[in-house]
Structure 1
Amino acid sequence: MEHTPAPYAPRSVYGYALYIGSNMLFVLFMIWAVIPDQILYSLGLTYWPSKYWAVAIPIWALTALAIFAFIIYPAINLSMTPDINDIATITDKHSCSKKETIPGGISPVFDIPITEVCRKLYLTKESNNK
């Protein structure tokens, strides 16, 4: 079978089953978290985890998500970024150098050299004029 992101019958069945299953688990979680233990015991449901976990699991999940989003993911991106003196930062086979244009015309798209970027970003105005 061809690999495609387009919907087809088995994928739609799995998606529907996942949708129904996740909704059922959420409803079960909410019933367990909200209904007092005495009512659950009167229904014959005696083995339930502590209500502590109804609060702790979402807090732990959100804390893990926040740590990943604000610490781990940026750290991975920074570790994959090449150094400023790496040749891959300066140019590659797809680089477009600046071409001469007609005065008053629209300038073409080109890559700004790293030296010019650093000069504009990090040097003071007195240093730029030299």
Structure 2
Amino acid sequence: MPEHTPAPYTPRSVYGYALFVGSNMLFLLYLVWAIVPDNLLQEKFGLTYWPLKYWAVAIPIWALTATALFAFLIYPAINLLMTPDIDDIRTIRDKFSLNTADKVPGGIPPVSDIPITQICRQLYLRPDGKMKNA
């Protein structure tokens, strides 16, 4: 069995087709339940028990509400909990940080992270060493 490949192979193709057909059949059954009147279902097909039509509307609305709640509240809250504080060293440097390397005169500077001290000097200090806007 090939690992970690998006290429189709026999089991994946069969499962995909079965999922496609099954989901379409469930959707068709849902539409019949939601649209066709109960008395017609009972007289023509002999189906005596169906859940209330209320649930045909309520379940999708609840699902969309739960999805929106997750997308706009819970997921951002989880991301905020995982983000380090502003005064944490991990905000400035991590294991993927690139240190400044030696520069060749007249050459293209190598790719590296700019130290926070250099950024602060450039943004907030004048050439004479005093604070800007002070």
For the criterion TM > 0.5, the same-fold answer is yes
Tell me by how many angstroms 1:107 deviates: 5.9
Range with greater deviation from structure 2 (4-13 or 64-73)? 4-13
Answer 1 or 2: higher relative contact order, Cα 8 Å, separation at least 6.
1
Question: Which range is displaced more, 77-86 or 65-74?
Answer: 77-86
Alignment-derived partner of residue 60 in structure 2: 58
Inter-partner Cα distance in structure 1 for 2:56 and 2:78 = 32
Tell me the C-alpha RMSD between the 2 structures: 2.6
What secondary structure is seen at the aligned counterpart in 2 of 1:3?
A: coil
Residues 26-61 of structure 1: CA deviation (Å, up to 9, x unaligned): 011001100111111112111100000000000000
Q: 1:88 matched to which residue of 2?
A: 90
More helix by share: 1
Question: C-alpha separation between the residues in 1 aligned to 2:72 and 2:31?
Answer: 29
TM-score (norm 1): 0.78
Percent of aligned pairs with the same residue?
63
**Amino acid aligned to 2:88:** D
Equivalent position amino acid for 1:76 in 2: I
TM-superposed deviation, 1:91: 1.2
Quote how far apart the aligned CAs of 1:66 are: 0.1
Gaps of 5+ in 2: 125-130
Say which SS state the counterpart of residue 39 (structure 2) adopts: helix
Amino acid at match of 2:71: A
Provide closer, same or farther for how the CA distance between residues 128 and 53 of structure 1 changes in structure 2, counting only shifts above 3 A: farther
Pair 1:36-2:41 in alignment = no
How far apart in 1 are the matches of 2:132 and 2:29? Answer: 66
Larger-Rg structure: 2
Q: Which amino acid aligns with 1:60?
A: W
Aligned residue in 1 for 2:80: 78
